[in-house]
Amino acid sequence: MKQMSNISPPPLTPPTRGGEYSLFPCIPPPVPLTEGDKGGGGRFRWGCTVTQMKVLHYKNFFFWQGFYHPSIPSFVRRGQRGGKIIVLQCPSFARRGKSEVTWLRLCTVVMFLMIWFSGIVRADEKILIAAASDLNFAMNKICHDFEKTHPGVKVEVSYGSSGNFYAQIKQGAPYDIFFSADASYPALLEEEGFAVKDQKRLYAVGRIVLWIPKKSTLNPQKGLNIILEPGLKKLAIANPKHAPYGRAAEESLRYYGLWDKVQGKLVFGENISQTAQFVQTGAADAGIIAMSMSISPGMVDRGSYLIIPTESYSRLEQVYTVLQRGKDKSSVTTFLAFAQGKNGKKILSAFGFILP
């Protein structure tokens, strides 16, 4: 270690009263020393007059006195050769030699370990969620309210199609919880060992609607048959191959005998969020989307919708499951209890989901 020589002592604060000085401005005015204290045999409090301060010699002085909390006595030993520095010293500690240095080093190690382990605990308190796109606004609200009541836990959510998440999780995507818009994917993950056994739960039932922007002359209240009108050039739906809401849209169109008639008009979104964007941006004239999105803050005032009867498509049972990464995490258990509790259910219902 490079030797430290000719080190200037820490500056003293201006006198407070009667010529009193202190190395630490935040300390109250000092208590005068007795004659015994001046002789080096007694104890004294931090802060004293200049004439009462001990003059200590040092060599390779490493720990500045001001680095430690003012309430901790000085551990600097007397009698070393080298430069001089004025500090306040507790004589009873100075007589003990190396034991104070060992104690100080031990405290430093303990503090370092506490900081290090604290970082590990906080990292474990981050919850990673894969959620179906129809949950975008509802889940954001749930997470916001949860973090307000649990400030030590951070929730990060990725949105996409349930089918794509299923494939990603099988390939090792690091998620703790999977909120699917289709009950089959969590069941498959559990069977294949990617999800914890007996942890899947039905949390909501989704609905689909026909949404048309305000600028359109079409009136959705006339019924689903308006998608056949010449003024409607493009109809957006989610991709039925991997998006549950896309399959529901296809089933409904087939139920009413419209599927074959609109083949030339169909525009497929990667997920239900992208499908909604197609209609919002004008890339499509209308779209069959999740009801939760049609009443979201970004769409509720920008268009109108027709609720498609639930008998025309398979029940959109939405199920979550705990993945292996989230196993035995208390924060995951706490979050799920909140999401399925009174507040979470109220939010889901407000966004058009049918509660189980």
* Ranges assigned E (strand) in 141-291: 154-160, 177-180, 201-206, 208-213, 235-238, 266-269, 286-290
The pLDDT tens digits of the residues spanning 65-99 come to: 433 344 444 444 444 444 444 444 444 444 445 56
Q: Which of 43-57, 134-148, 295-309 has the lowest mean pLDDT?
A: 43-57
Kindly report the number of other CB atoms within 10 A of residue 252's CB atom: 23
Above pLDDT 70, what percent of the chain?
Answer: 65
Residue 212 predicted with pLDDT over 80: yes
The pTM assigned to this predicted structure is 0.63
Q: Are 165 and 185 in contact, with CB atoms under 8 Å apart?
A: yes
pLDDT of residue 75: 40
pLDDT for the residue 267: 96
Q: What is the mean pLDDT of residues 38-61?
A: 40
How confident is the model over 238-258, as a mean pLDDT?
95
| Contact of 16 with 22, CB cutoff 8 Å | yes
Which domains, and CATH codes, for the chain? Answer: 20-96 (no CATH), 123-205+316-350 (3.40.190.10), 207-312 (3.40.190.10)
The answer to whether residues 261 and 228 touch, using CB atoms and an 8 Å cutoff, is yes
Judge whether residue 123 has pLDDT over 70: no
Residues with Cβ within 8 Å of 228's Cβ and at least 6 positions away in sequence, in order, are: 258, 261, 262
Residues 252 and 307: their CA atoms lie apart, in Å, by 12
Q: Band of the pLDDT at 312, cuts 50, 70, 90?
A: very high
Q: How far is CA 94 from CA 33, 70, 98, in A?
A: 17, 16, 9
For the stretch 151-168, pLDDT in tens is 999 999 999 999 999 999
pLDDT of 355: 94
